[in-house]
Amino acid sequence: MTVHSTISTGSPWYALFSRGARDWLRHNEKVRESVQQHLPDLVAGSDLITGSEERTVHLPVRVLEHARFRLADNQMESYRNAGQGQGQPGDVLRPAQQRPDEDDEAEGDNSEGEVRLLLELKVDDIVDWLWEELKLPDLQPKPKTTLSEDEFVREGWDKRGARARLDRRRTVKEAVKRRAIQQDPVPFSNEDLRFRQLVHRRKPATNAVVLFALDVSASMTDAERKLAKTFFFFVLQGIRRKYGKVETRFIAHTTQAWEFSEPDFFQVTGTGGTGASTAFDLAIEMIEAEYDPAQYNGYLFYASDGENFTEDRSAATAGLAKLTQLLNYVGYVETVPGSSRVTDTEMKSICAQLEQNGARLGSCVLNQPDDIWKAIRKFFMQEALQGAEV
Amino acid sequence: MEQEELTNYAEKIETLAQKLGLDYYPVDFEVVPNNFMMEISVYGLPVRMPHWSFGIRYIHQLIRQGMGHSRIFEVMFPGDPCHAYLVRDNSIAENTLVVAHVIGHADFSKNNHLFARFMEMAGGHILEQAAERAHTIEMALAEHGQQRVEQILDAALALEPHVDINQPLHRRPYPTGFSHSAKEESADPFSRRFHRLPGEADPQLPEARRRTIPPTPEYDLLWFIANYAPEMEGWERDIFLAVREESFYFYPVFACQIMNEGWASYWHARLLREADFLPSDLYVSAIKAHSDVVRPFAADNQLSLSINPYHLGFSIWEDIIEKYGVQRARQICKDEDDFGFIRNYLTPELAEKLDLFVYEADHEGGIRIAEKNIHAIREAILAPKFNYGAPRVAAAEMHVDGSLELIHDHKDDGRGLDIPRAERVLEYVTRVWRRPVSLQTVGGSGHPRVVSSKPIVKS
């Protein structure tokens, strides 16, 4: 019997095969999903809001392994395998304190070569993904802040201009062009010179200030603060994406209000009751003193467990009402971790009342980390809507 | 130009191979670009279903190749005809060697009983079928959406090695009604033969009891889930059976790796040696490529913590042929798999000559040579091959409410499962089984441990 085997050159299409790349992309999508699930842990640092935007987090891709049944690593006994080379029983090949690194064989086979990658992700990138997914509308800058800054922008070239704005690259180009067509050319002539021109433009103001107010009375526990902190972080990220320059201020209050730096802000614990109006008054004071509403887009986000002295009601309502006029938007989140009971709290009714009167204010309840997305979505949608109406 | 030269050598090598008695199905060689080769090695088949886990392997392979750690010479798929892929960028000498090597594989896969059995059950066109199934899955993706298809593949591919290769590929469901004897329940050929051994009594079972599902612990998990999952749709079951069939296809390659690579290496060496038509410089480069592939990982005075299967298999085959001749070697090639091959033919003298040893690595990373006892060496080589390299997990019982109980045979495996991984696999399985699933194993200190699926969250 003769067997005829054939040798052919594979189809030219083979070079275009990219299923591996496609599954790779799908894998990247899974990375995103798992990053999102771990977000509350990722945003645990104390200087998260004011810290650098260049920060990165490490994410072990182990969480993305496609799991299979495997025997547990044996803690008691040692691991045995076959090896090759000259040596006698008892020879120590490697002293302890090092991890064995095995090179699995080169052939692509069925065994799952263990892949351990450590992804380094920029927090900023993660937030970008989230924002992409939330499909939030653009924030509307306050319509009345049409105040503009003047600035000069480079635009175009001319043969005359100030010496300092000589564009060397372009000048040389011109000279080369000229020399190419001239007999016996001079290296440079005045005709070759090109100068950058400036034009005068008006630039809309893009300053924003975000005030964070937090109820630090005894009733706010760690779980509540964590929720509030995570919420503050993401809402700020959203605003940062809209404005060129964003300032942040932190106000904590019990029956009094103080301003804090970020690290202290989430640490501080007060005793005693809750008088939200003090925080609002402090915010108004700050805005009036430092952030002229005509120049700044202002936002206030207030987190509390909802309790407030009844005697404080009218003062708080008045303060909040004034704030809604000064600021682009006021957001109130009520942090009640773990319970999904709907209760009518003091703060909520104040907000509901203001909201009914058409103030630019929104409120939301946070029970669990996932609610943060709902809240952010609600606030941003509402803000965009109301901004458009005005 | 090169193509013609290679075709010319290949023809002559084949004639020589047939003169030397090699018997194989024709081979379709294709010369393909490097990136296609890499995809084959990642997926295990030229065209296979998409799944994100292949994406991880792809990145891994990309990095390894980029660093020069890994170089693929050939991939060969048994069948009728066989398919073999050569890398376009390899030199003509390397590809000539590869052609001879592939012919060795082709001979092995036509004759070895495991390969022959699969081919008898599934036919010789597995590549085309796999591509067809990949296409079906693409259509399922379009029809049912990524999430649903992915959850099926997550479960099916996680259970890939959990098949019972003693069962036929096309297996009938359990008989229904009442059972009377234990004999009919053990349907697979191995147990039937086992029970016929002298001194092996039928296990006593209580008479005429209601059959449970499964009647005996079922290790063929892919088959079991595809057939008995309470709420699976037809196309979902098809995906499970597709993964099972591919798993059956990979098994002979897995179980005969040392024999198969050794056999191919023996033949490529011999064919090249006797190929007087090859120009001498090409012969020298080819033989150099040969010695790069078939060399112990530990060269000269070095030690290696793993054994090159090419070198081990090659050495054993040379030893066999020297002692017993080619005819006997062909018979061994037909009858054995790696278990029989290593246990019967890795002799103490050969192990001594090859400097094989067993080492122990403790969990602090210290490594020392433990012993050179031949039995220990054989078992250490074979240990990763038992049960398709996976823990022994069986379906123990399906309850009336449809919940499933899995059991891990920890006595056989010597210890319990890695719990976090087992939990995740259970999560995959639960999404497909759509009823509670639990798994019994043992924890670190040997006490029983039950892993249960979390309730399914409808999304």
pLDDT exceeds cutoff 90 at A364: no
Q: Does A2 score more than 60 pLDDT?
A: no
What integer is the mean pLDDT of A333-349?
75
What is the pLDDT at residue A113? 41
Q: Which of residues 380-419 of B touch A (CB under 8 A)?
A: 380-381, 383, 389-391, 393, 408, 413-419
Residue B258 has pLDDT above 60, yes or no: yes
pLDDT of the residue at B373: 92
As a whole number, the mean pLDDT across chain A is 75
Q: Is the pLDDT of residue B261 over 90?
A: yes
> Which residues 58-97 in chain A show a CB within 8 A of chain B?
61, 64-75, 78-97
Out of B81, B356, B362, name the one closest to residue A96 (CB). B362
The percent of residues in chain A predicted with pLDDT above 90, rounded, is 5
- What is the mean predicted confidence (pLDDT) over B160-184? 77
Question: What is the C-alpha separation between A295 and A288, in angstroms, rounded?
Answer: 11
Which among B175, B163, B136 is positioned nearest to B225, based on CA atoms?
B163
Residue-level pLDDT at B185: 53
Closest CA–CA distance from residue A368 to any residue of chain B (Å): 17
When pLDDT is averaged across residues B200-208 and rounded to a whole number, the result is 57
Q: Average pLDDT for residues B288-299, to the nearest whole number?
A: 81
Dump the DSSP string for B150-219: HHHHHHHHHTTT---TTS-SS-PPPP-SEE--STTT--SHHHHHHHHSTT-PPPP--SSEEPPSSSS-B-
- Under the banding of pLDDT at 50, 70 and 90, the label for residue A106 is very low
- On the question of pLDDT at A100 being above 60, the answer is no
**Size (chain B), residues:** 459
Helical spans, DSSP H, in chain A = 19-37, 39-42, 123-134, 168-181, 222-240, 262-265, 276-290, 313-326, 346-356, 371-389
- In this structure, what token pair is assigned to residue B131? 């591509």
CB neighbour list of residue A239: distance below 8 Å, 6 or more residues apart? A139, A208, A210, A246, A299
Q: Quick one: tokens of B311?
A: 């070198």
The helix (H) or strand (E) run that includes residue B374 is helix B374-382
B35/A17 CB distance under 8 A: yes
Q: Is some CB atom of chain A closer than 8 A to the CB atom of B301? A: yes
Rounded distance between C-alpha atoms, residue B41 and residue B32, angstroms: 13
Q: Does pLDDT of B347 surpass 60?
A: yes
Q: How confident is the model over B150-160, as pLDDT tens digits?
A: 999 999 999 99
pLDDT in tens, A294-313: 777 888 888 888 778 888 88
Contacts of B377 (CB under 8 A, 6+ apart): A82, B346, B351, B356, B357, B358
What is the pTM (predicted TM-score) of this model?
0.71
Residue by residue, DSSP assigns A357-390 as: TT-SEEEEEESSTTHHHHHHHHHHHHHHHHHHH-
**For chains A and B, what is the number of CB pairs under 8 angstroms?**
295
Amino acid symbol at B271: L
Contact between A347 and A333 (Cβ < 8 Å)? no
The predicted pLDDT at position A111 comes to: 36
Q: Note whether B439 and B236 are within 8 A (CB).
A: no
Question: What is d(CA B308, CA B297) in angstroms, rounded to the nearest whole number?
Answer: 6
CA distance A298 to A316: 19
Contact B56 A64 (CB under 8 A): yes
Query: Residue B26 gets which letter from DSSP?
Result: -
Q: Is residue A116 pLDDT above 60, yes or no?
A: no
Ramachandran sector of residue B236 (left: φ over 0; alpha: ψ -120 to 50; beta: rest): alpha
Confirm if A279 and A251 have CB atoms less than 8 A apart. Answer: yes
Average pLDDT over residues A19-34: 81
Cite the DSSP H helix spans in B275-325. Answer: 280-293, 309-324
Residue A207 pLDDT: 76
Mean pLDDT of chain B: 87
B218-243: per-residue pLDDT in tens?
Answer: 999 999 999 999 989 999 999 999 99
Q: Which two tokens stand for residue A115?
A: 């892949």
- Residues of chain A positioned with their CB less than 8 A from the CB of B366: 92, 94-97
Q: Is-cis flag, bond preceding B189, omega within 30?
A: no
Q: What is the mean pLDDT of residues B390-411?
A: 92
